[in-house]
Amino acid sequence: MKTDFYHSEITCRDPHQDLITGCIRGDHRSQLGIYKAYYKPMYNTSLRILKDSGEAELIMQESFLFAFENIETFRGTTSFIEWLRSIVVKRSNEALRENVDENGRGGEWERGRRR
């Protein structure tokens, strides 16, 4: 069941609130605006965790897709960038865990994809 976001209460005013509202409505231009606004900090967050530019790019893009598909879960109790960063951090840590072998050492990244 979808929540009526046009009447929901958002407690944390975000500088990109109009774009966020557009994303909730499914507007692709708003999604592009959000992507452009948050691409670099989300990429840098993932890169700090993964230490691999190709994998960080992949995880960052997957995180944006996940965020857009699940934007109705954003309640506005934190800033949008904090909500998005939590998705990027979680997915980056999952990718890192998947890449660690049974001896606890990190495996190798192969052309931006996990082996």
In a domain, residue 80? The reply is yes
Report the CATH number that the domain containing residue 58 is assigned in CATH: 1.10.1740.10
pLDDT at 115 over 70: no
Beta bridge partners of 11: none
Neighbour-count burial of 11, counting CB atoms closer than 10 A to its CB (0-12 exposed, 13-18 middle, 19+ buried): exposed
In a domain, residue 105? The reply is no
In a domain, residue 46? The reply is yes
Give the model confidence (pLDDT) of 6-35 as tens digits.
Answer: 444 445 567 788 999 999 999 999 999 999
How many domains, in total, are found in the chain?
1
Measured CA to CA in angstroms, residue 82 lies from 57, 64, 76, 98, 115 at distances of: 19, 13, 10, 24, 30
User: pTM for the complete prediction?
Assistant: 0.76
Give the model confidence (pLDDT) of 21-75 as tens digits.
Answer: 999 999 999 999 999 999 999 999 999 999 999 999 999 999 999 999 999 999 8
